Amino acid sequence: MLKSPLIQLILIQIREFYREPGVVFWSLLFPILMAWGLGIAFSQKAEITKTVAFIANQQQLDEGIQKYFPKVELEYKQDSISQSHFYGIDYGNEFIGVTHYQIEPVSWQQAELMVKRGKTPLILSVNDERIEYHFDKQNSEAKLAYLQLSSLFNGVNIEQQQWEIKPMTEKGTRYIDFLIPGLLAMNIMMSTMWGISYTLIEARTKKLLRRMVATPMPKWQYILSLFIARVILCVVEALIVFTFAYYYFNITIGGSLMAFAILFFSGLVAFAGIAVLVGSRTAKTQIGNGLINFIVMPMMLLSGIYFSYHNFPKFVVPYIQALPLTMLADGVKAIFNENAGISEVWKYIVVLNALGVTTFAIGLRFFKWY
């Protein structure tokens, strides 16, 4: 039985697998490390912190906002990181977990900006002693915040509650306005990383790069062809996504089209450089899969594509904002939702281009053609 050709072929495949330490790591140990890290990051914690914007003028601040929330005790605090002032209130207990709400007095313009940037899911205001809740009804995080805060402010007797829901339908404040620009940015990363890195790794595995070197073709033309192909494909993919979002969700680009085009190209440059670096020496597709996932998975989860990165602890937010996908997504969202132009996103453009050129130069320096 053990001498069966089928059994021997199976054993050959298994031996080829575990004799490659890199393949074993990326195929077996890396998923375990990812599960451990993401499990810690996204497991339900006993205590979480959320910021809520409260529309307050100077007179209300002078009088004290406590008078508008007579059924709760608000604690005046200062954030040690941002140095902002807020009123704290807690919801929950040791059995269901505690949510620390930070009610931050701001103007209406500042509150809308906080919603667009994902810093708050909900806005509070007071009109004739009636608490008003402004949020997107399609946002589950906002609905949960409303239910928790309304139960704190108004108690359990619904008939005596003085509140009103004001749905937010303005462009830029909806969840879909937050999602679509992030998806466009993520598509640049995924298309470029897999389209360039994996193509290089697969070509090296199949000895195609060796054949390319043997031809009269200059080496730089091969790399440039991969980049230009990604530019064309990413533009087509972005047009398809945007066209669908425009006609179905009425999403438009509120800011500068020129700024968007330059930022879009800068994102391609950044991730193309990273892709060349990742695919510069690897000759195993299994290792290549692991390396690419090691780059794209954390950014896809941390960079505010599907949900705001402000949900993470405040001390890690600056590190998240330094990720290339975060910079690209934040820049695209600013152009779409905040009417931003070159002057607002130039820092993202400079950093992304510098990152792309640097990683490309390093990757080309150590590139393995054989």
Task: Flag whether 41 is in a domain.
Answer: no
Q: Are residues 238 and 359 in the same domain?
A: yes
Q: How far is CA 88 from the centre of its chain?
A: 27
Q: Which of 132, 167, 202 is the last residue of a domain?
A: 167
- In the structure encoding, which two tokens stand for residue 352, read together? 């992304």
pLDDT tens sequence across 268-322: 999 999 999 998 888 777 778 888 888 998 898 889 898 888 878 788 889 999 9
Domain count, the chain: 2
pLDDT tens sequence across 150-193: 888 875 444 445 677 888 888 788 888 999 999 999 999 999 99
Q: Which of 116, 132, 167 is the last residue of a domain?
A: 167
- In the structure encoding, which two tokens stand for residue 337, read together? 């939702």
pLDDT above 70 for 40: no
Q: Are residues 116 and 237 in the same domain?
A: no
Looking at residue 43, its pLDDT comes to: 58
Looking at residue 17, its pLDDT comes to: 62
Looking at residue 162, its pLDDT comes to: 62
Looking at residue 18, its pLDDT comes to: 64
Nearest to 31 by CA among 324, 309, 23: 23
Q: d(Cα 232, Cα 192) in Å, to the nearest integer?
A: 11
Is residue 307 a contact partner of residue 301, using CB atoms and an 8 Å limit?
A: no
Strand pairing class (97-106; 47-55)? parallel
Amino acid identity, residue 246?
Y
- In the structure encoding, which two tokens stand for residue 268, read together? 């391609």
pTM score, whole prediction: 0.81
pLDDT above 50 for 223: yes
Task: Flag whether 67 is in a domain.
Answer: yes
Partners of residue 86 on adjacent β-strands: 77
pLDDT above 90 for 80: no
Number of Cβ within a 10 Å radius of residue 82: 12
Q: d(Cα 181, Cα 336) in Å, to the nearest integer?
A: 7
pLDDT above 80 for 107: yes
Nearest to 288 by CA among 25, 61, 2: 25
Least confident of 73-82, 114-123, 237-246, 357-366: 73-82
Q: Are residues 270 and 193 in the same domain?
A: yes
Task: Flag whether 27 is in a domain.
Answer: no
Looking at residue 159, its pLDDT comes to: 47
Partners of residue 75 on adjacent β-strands: 88
Least confident of 26-35, 92-101, 193-202, 349-358: 26-35
Backbone angles phi, psi at 130, to 5 degrees: -105, 125
Q: Which of 111, 140, 167 is the last residue of a domain?
A: 167
Classify each residue of 304-322 as buried b or exposed e, where b means 16 or more C-beta atoms within 10 Å of its C-beta.
Answer: bbebbbbbbeeeebeebee
Q: Are residues 253 and 128 in the same domain?
A: no
Task: Flag whether 29 is in a domain.
Answer: no
Residue 137 — very low, low, confident or very high, per pLDDT cuts 50/70/90? confident
Amino acid identity, residue 264?
F
Percent with pLDDT over 70 in the chain = 85
Least confident of 41-45, 249-253, 316-320: 41-45
Residue 30 — very low, low, confident or very high, per pLDDT cuts 50/70/90? low
Task: Flag whether 307 is in a domain.
Answer: yes
Partners of residue 166 on adjacent β-strands: 134
Name the H helices within the chain. Answer: 5-18, 21-24, 30-42, 58-63, 108-116, 140-154, 175-192, 199-205, 208-214, 219-249, 257-278, 285-302, 317-321, 324-337, 342-365
Task: Flag whether 42 is in a domain.
Answer: no
Strand pairing class (47-55; 163-167)? unpaired
Task: Flag whether 316 is in a domain.
Answer: yes
pLDDT above 50 for 360: yes
Which domain does 60 fall in, by range? Answer: 47-167
Between 123 and 39, residue with greater pLDDT: 123
Q: Are residues 114 and 230 in the same domain?
A: no
Q: Region 104-119: what's the mean pLDDT? A: 89
Task: Flag whether 309 is in a domain.
Answer: yes
Percent with pLDDT over 90 in the chain = 28
Contacts of 124 (CB under 8 A, 6+ apart): 52, 53, 54, 55, 103, 131, 132, 133, 134, 149
Looking at residue 353, its pLDDT comes to: 96
Looking at residue 71, its pLDDT comes to: 74
Number of Cβ within a 10 Å radius of residue 207: 11
Residue 239 — very low, low, confident or very high, per pLDDT cuts 50/70/90? very high
Q: d(Cα 201, Cα 276) in Å, to the nearest integer?
A: 10
Q: d(Cα 184, Cα 242) in Å, to the nearest integer?
A: 8
Q: Are residues 354 and 217 in the same domain?
A: yes
Q: Are residues 269 and 342 in the same domain?
A: yes
Looking at residue 9, its pLDDT comes to: 67
Least confident of 20-29, 172-181, 226-235, 336-345: 20-29
Q: Are residues 59 and 101 in the same domain?
A: yes
Number of Cβ within a 10 Å radius of residue 298: 17
Q: Region 95-99: what's the mean pLDDT? A: 79
Looking at residue 158, its pLDDT comes to: 43
What order do you get walking across the sheet with 130-135 strand by strand?
75-78, 85-93, 97-106, 47-55, 123-127, 130-135, 163-167
Q: Are residues 247 and 352 in the same domain?
A: yes
Least confident of 33-37, 224-228, 240-244, 364-368: 33-37
Looking at residue 316, its pLDDT comes to: 86
Backbone angles phi, psi at 129, to 5 degrees: 65, 10
Between 361 and 44, residue with greater pLDDT: 361
Q: Are residues 221 and 355 in the same domain?
A: yes
Contacts of 304 (CB under 8 A, 6+ apart): 118, 182, 310, 320, 326, 329, 330
Q: Are residues 220 and 339 in the same domain?
A: yes
The rounded mean pLDDT for the chain is 83
Q: Are residues 128 and 229 in the same domain?
A: no
Q: How far is CA 362 from the centre of its chain?
A: 26
